[in-house]
Homo-oligomer: A and B are copies of this chain.
Amino acid sequence: MREQSDKFHEECAIFGIYGHPEAGNLTYLGLYALQHRGQEASGIATHDGHAFYQEKGMGLVADIFSQDRLNRLKGHAAIGHNRYSTTGDSVLKNVQPVMVEYALGTLAMVHNGNLINTDLLRDELEAYGAIFQSTIDSEVIIHLIAHSTEDRLLLRIIDALERVHGAYCLIFLSEEGLIGVRDPYGFRPLCLGKLKDGFVLASESCAFDLIGAELIREIEPGEVIQINEKGVFSYKPFPKTPTAQCVFEYVYFARPDSYIFTQHVYGIRKRLGKELAKEGAVSADIVIPVPDSGVPAALGFSEESKIPYEIGLIRNHYVGRTFIEPQQSIRHFGVKIKLNAMHEALEGKRVVVVDDSLVRGTTSQKIVKMIRAAGAREVHMRISSPPILSPCFYGIDTPTRQELLAANKNVEEIREYITADSLTYLSMEGMFRAVYHSESGENYHFCNACFSGNYPLPLTEKQLQLRLFEEGKS
């Protein structure tokens, strides 16, 4: 059993470092700090001025990289990737970095995000003689670079990305150093840091904390950063567009101790809880979080509502890997494997339960029942984000529309389904009030397609069909 979770799944983390004698080791540590963004597989590529080295494997960072493998990752420059499969099968050849030989030498690349016009590009590239060895859409970018007629890698990358639509943060490793790119919409985060004489790129700033690097700033949407022995150079080659940063990074994906999209995540999550307390006020004895993702919002809810914060659910810290569910009558432990309700804290209480989001509702239903079985008198579910109505096409592994509870039931029906005494979602305005610390609740820079169905990039025909088909069905 993979960790069953009533959450969206993040797909990837990327990391890169240039100018440090232990680039491989530091990439290993960076990926370790970013493990929450992808647990399926990891890989690291390094360069030492002479040769390129690469190690990949399925599983967790700490299990893949033995001392031997780390020793083989020589060099002063490195990139790495944690993968949570969104496109491509779960096989080793799909694990990043992608490393190839092409006209200008060796090139390795890591990618966080999801492209939306790869089918078209793939057909076109194959017509020109391209062969594809993996099923990941990132391979298309490499082919576009290889087919570019520019004579410098930087120009080839820009050339290639002009053809590509979708969400991407990329780091390239070549003999010349690193090149980092964030797409013009800025869907996914990418930060720049400094460690002694070297420079570091990472999906989230929490990776810098572990290795002792200093956060300089974030790569801007549409920015291309070149890092080599001469320093860091910034380019803005793409036409300006309104940004569409993923608001769900704030809601759930990012680690609370990270700084992304110019703000600390933890503070926003607490404010989401405060807004939620305003919108979903209820008379209760205690506020408890669904650990660990609900903790900051529950604290915010408690502060705002003055209802005492309590620990009502205990998390088993040995979950997170494969767990064999015995195959007989005793089955379907689901959330019990991960959480246990504490009788002492809950008995006789009117309980507010705070979670960050509600996707399929199956886990929430089990949690409500578990809390009630532990003696709670009332169970009020509060969700610190709006109902999720639409799938994500920009790099997040979301269920189909049919599995999205809020796409098929109204709030009252959902409440009934999860058997709570009351249920409140945070409103869209409430969410953006928390994000912008303002009263307006308007959205300036963020993608909220999963809550609203407003996709910043036009959908492809295939995606439209999928959507219509699902709407027809539901």
Interface residues of A (CB under 8 A from B): 21-22, 25-26, 28-29, 32-33, 35-36, 39, 60-63, 65-67, 70, 92-93, 98-103, 107, 122, 126-133, 142-143, 146-148, 206, 209-212, 255-257, 259, 264, 266-267, 292, 295-296, 299, 303, 308-311, 314-318, 320-324, 326-330, 333, 336-337, 340-345
Contact of A67 with B324 at beta-carbon distance under 8 Å, contacts A131-B101, A257-B342 already known: yes
**5 cross-chain pairs, A with B, having the tightest CB-CB distances, nearest first:** A129-B147, A25-B326, A264-B344, A101-B132, A103-B126
Given contacts A32-B318, A147-B129, A308-B303, whether A324 and B102 have CB atoms under 8 Å apart is no
**Complex contact A132–B308 (CB within 8 A):** no
Residue of B129, B321, B326 near A128 (CB, 8 A) is: B129
> Does the CB pair B26–A330 fall under 8 Å?
yes
A341 to B60, CA, bound (A): 23
Q: Across the interface, which residues of B come within 8 angstroms of A21, CB to CB? A: 329
A213 to chain B, nearest CB (A): 11
Chain B residues in 8 Å Cβ range of A340: 33, 206, 209-210, 255, 257
Q: Residue of B at shortest CB range from A210?
A: B336
Bound-state Cα–Cα, A255 to B255, Å: 26
Query: Which residue of chain B is the closest to A329 with respect to CB atoms?
Result: B22
Residues from chain B with a CB closer than 8 A to the CB of A147 are: 128-129
Known: A22-B329, A67-B324. A311 touches B62 (CB 8 A): no
Chain A contact residues, majority secondary structure: mixed
Given contacts A22-B329, A101-B122, A257-B341, 9 further A-B contacts (CB under 8 A): A32-B318, A36-B317, A62-B322, A67-B324, A98-B133, A101-B132, A129-B143, A259-B343, A309-B309
Per the bound structure, the CA–CA distance linking A303 and B61 in Å amounts to 40
Complex-state Cα separation, A256 to B341, whole angstroms? 10
Copies of this protein chain in the complex: 4
CB distance from A137 to the nearest CB of B (A): 12
* Contacting pair A29 B326 (CB below 8 A): yes
Query: Which one, B35, B127, B328, contacts A318 given CB within 8 A?
Result: B35
Cβ–Cβ < 8 Å partners of A93 in chain B: 93
Hey, which chain B residues are within 8 Å of A342, CB to CB?
Answer: 256-257, 264, 266
Closest to A123 in B: B103
CA–CA, A65 and B28, complex, Å:
29
A131: contacting residue among B70, B143, B330, CB under 8 A: B143
Closest Cβ–Cβ distance, residue A36 to chain B (whole Å): 7
**Closest CB in chain B relative to A47 CB, distance in Å:** 16
Cβ A326 vs Cβ B28 within 8 A? yes
Contact call A333/B25, Cβ cutoff below 8 A: no
CA distance A295 to B309 in the complex (A): 12
Q: How far is the CB of A203 from chain B (nearest CB, A)?
A: 15
Q: A299-B310, A320-B318 are in contact. Are A25 and B129 (CB under 8 A)?
A: no
Within the complex, the shortest CB–CB distance from A83 to chain B, in Å, comes to 15
- Note all chain B residues with C-beta closer than 8 A to A329: 21-22
**How many Å lie between the Cα of A99 and that of B292 in the bound state?**
41
